Amino acid sequence: MSQTTKQDILRVNDLKAYYQMNYFGVNREVRAVDGITMTVRKGEVYGIAGESSSGKTSFIKVLAAAIRPPLRVVSGTVEFDFKSGKIDVAHASPSEVERVRWRDLSYIMQGSMSVLNPVRKIGKTFRDFAFRPLGLSNEAFEARVIEHLRRLKLPPEVLNAFPHELSGGMRQRVTIGLATVCHPEFVIADEPTTALDVVVQKEVLGLIREIQQDMNSSVVFVTHDMSVHANMADRVGIIYAGRLVEEGPTREMFFAPKHPYTAHLVASLPRIGDTTQRPALEGRPPNLADPPQGCRFHPRCPLAVDKCRKDVPPLEQVGPDHRTACWRWQDVKPLVSPHVAHGVMA
């Protein structure tokens, strides 16, 4: 585990969360989150990356205390250190979670139409989410919401609109507003730019960063798009097959990755004017109901040796604030040139 300091707002220790199912007498266990240990600091944007089916969504469901069967926490802790007190959301009671939800811990969910009630006006939805946590009078609450909407470049009139009457970008700004109107200390953003065009994506990302800096909140930002992490995150954690395989400062992850999977994620980014063929990563993520022995990346890894197939590599320190789980991390080379990496992070 990385060294804990008084600046940490989240400490995850050896977290295991599995989907446990029983169909027709047959037990099935999917190890979606399998031994993750990490920290997030106060005022930090921590990016989480990984391809589909890597376990990202399951992991943030646990962080957000949105655990529903068949997903269950098998072991480990998820401890937040809020100003109002500490709480382990992996084992907290519903009433304890309710105390911190939206006020201290908030969640920008993926897809605005899955958050907004299509038959309920935006103003009513704000009241559903935030009236009770804020504890304000009706007049003060309305003033707070209108002022917050202005920060998001939304007119007060949207409060009288139904979701279908707003554009995709406006709906996404509304979901950001719902998650941040209580000025929470910790915000989880799950693919908040999905299905938005690139211009709107840039606006939404800028708004999230601006609000995060204004509130001095910590943000866990989840997306498979490494170019978003390049421009948003202070540190990035890479998840593969339910495990954290690399973590480090964003610039180092692009210029000097220490895990072959990270190197391939960075190399997969499209770049304007570059017509060269991308290095392909063969195979596909393993079945988490029956993961391979040893390093779970070894069936796809060009550097794999016998040790990788037999032994699980520990997440070890390989530089200041940089950890990786790879037996051959010293042999990992960036798959993009430095000037290309500079272009991505511009």
pLDDT at position 231 over 60:
yes
Residue 337 confidence (pLDDT) above 70: no
CA nearest to 315, candidates 325, 300, 307, 305? 325
Residue 197 has pLDDT above 90, yes or no: no
Tally of CA atoms within 13 A in the half-sphere of 170 that contains its CB: 15
Among residues 77, 207, 104, which one has the least CA distance to residue 154? 207
First to last CA, the chain: 31
Nearest alpha carbon to residue 290 among 13, 18, 49, 67: 18
For residues 301 and 147, give the distance between their C-alpha atoms in angstroms, rounded to a whole number: 51
Which of the two residues, 197 and 64, has the higher pLDDT score?
Answer: 64
Q: What is the pLDDT of residue 3?
A: 44
Neighbouring C-alpha atoms within 13 Å toward the C-beta of 280: 4
pLDDT in tens, 104-134: 999 988 766 678 899 999 999 999 999 999 9
3-state secondary structure (DSSP) of residue 98: helix
